[in-house]
Structure 1
Amino acid sequence: MKPEDLKSGVIVDYPYLWRWQQERGETEGRKDRPVCVAIALRRLDSSKTYLALLAISGTPPQPGRRTLELAEIECRRAGIKTWKAAWIYIDEYNFDIAEWSYYLDLSQEPRGRFSKSFMMKLAAECSPFFKTRQSRVDRTD
């Protein structure tokens, strides 16, 4: 996979670092999990691809968390069809740079890709969180 293959809606495996883990001083995600490329921005004046990655989990969310439950069809499209249920977390995201990432394995093949209609709904739901830096877990250090 090349950085330019990382488009909005693509699902890859990534060692996602939860905000609560970062607040406790952790710097590494505990395990690889499916994540959705919510945003992939390529700067014309550099060779960097900036990514906003949203975690997907099969564990029901804790009260107070903002998630979208995935329909069965979207689970199949995402390559997680064996899960009984899945949620995508929209109230936080990992920020990374594809070409410089210590965490993103560019040798992997994407698991799948969400539909355009689901991504439009996802964009509308997570937009308020992307406007604040407190939702961002920076993985570029």
Structure 2
Amino acid sequence: MTFPAPKPGLVIRYSFLWSHEADAGADEGSKDRPCAIVVAQKQVEGEVRTLVAAITHLEPDDPAAAMELPSAVSKALKLDGARHWLKLDELNRFVWPGYDLRQIPGRQGEYAYGMLPQPLFEELRVKILARNQAGKARTVKRD
């Protein structure tokens, strides 16, 4: 089994655990979904600490809590034809590759959809930092 190298902007298939699920005692995500790697930082021990933001179909109640993926990006990543949002206020942290990295359905041996365009990734990064600094982001630790 060969996993892709973790790098910021890479969209992977991952069993994302929402904070409300973790608060209720769950330690596994209820659904595998595309997620964008926000941070992939190698540690002294050789581990790669990874931070991911979920991609969801659910339109946010608070527009500042998510950013919509342009349809051209969704198409390039081979996501379904529905609208998609990158969540800015819900993150998962884990050691790469972890237990929750999943193969993409119908694409044997593939775990990554592709890369976000650099300007879109930079917008994602800046908005997540702003939400975090405002105390409006939660990170669920999965390791």
> TM-score, normalization: structure 1?
0.85
**Equivalent of 1:137 in 136, 140, 143:** 140
Task: Supply the AA of the counterpart residue of 1:12.
Answer: I
Q: Give 4+ residue runs of structure 1 displaced > 6 Å after superposition.
A: none
In the alignment, what sits opposite 1:121?
123
Superposition deviation, residue 62 in structure 1: 3.2
What is the rounded CA distance, in whole Å, between the counterparts of 1:73 and 1:25 in structure 2? 37
Unaligned ranges ≥5, structure 2: 104-108
In the alignment, what sits opposite 1:36?
36
In the alignment, what sits opposite 2:87?
89
**Measured at CA, do residues 38 and 15 of structure 1 come closer, stay the same or move farther in structure 2, by a change above 3 Å?**
same
What is the rounded CA distance, in whole Å, between the counterparts of 2:126 and 2:40 in structure 1? 16
What whole-Å deviation, never above 9, does each CA across 1:89-132 have from its counterpart, x for those lacking one?
01120000014x22124853311110001011111100134456
**Measured at CA, do residues 21 and 10 of structure 1 come closer, stay the same or move farther in structure 2, by a change above 3 Å?**
same
- Bigger fraction of residues in helix: 1
Does the 8 Å CA contact 1:65/1:91 hold for their aligned counterparts? no
**Measured at CA, do residues 85 and 13 of structure 1 come closer, stay the same or move farther in structure 2, by a change above 3 Å?**
same
Query: Residue 103 in 1 paired to residue 100 in 2?
Result: yes
- Bigger fraction of residues in strand: 2
Task: Report the secondary structure of 1:94's partner residue.
Answer: strand
Task: Report the secondary structure of 2:73's partner residue.
Answer: helix
Query: Residue 112 in 1 paired to residue 118 in 2?
Result: no
What is the rounded CA distance, in whole Å, between the counterparts of 2:54 and 2:12 in structure 1? 10
> TM-score, normalization: structure 2?
0.83
Does the 8 Å CA contact 1:129/1:135 hold for their aligned counterparts? no
Count residues with an aligned counterpart: 136
Unaligned ranges ≥5, structure 1: none
Does the 8 Å CA contact 2:101/2:111 hold for their aligned counterparts? no
Percent identity of equivalent pairs: 21
Task: Supply the AA of the counterpart residue of 2:114.
Answer: G
What is the rounded CA distance, in whole Å, between the counterparts of 1:61 and 1:13 in structure 2? 21
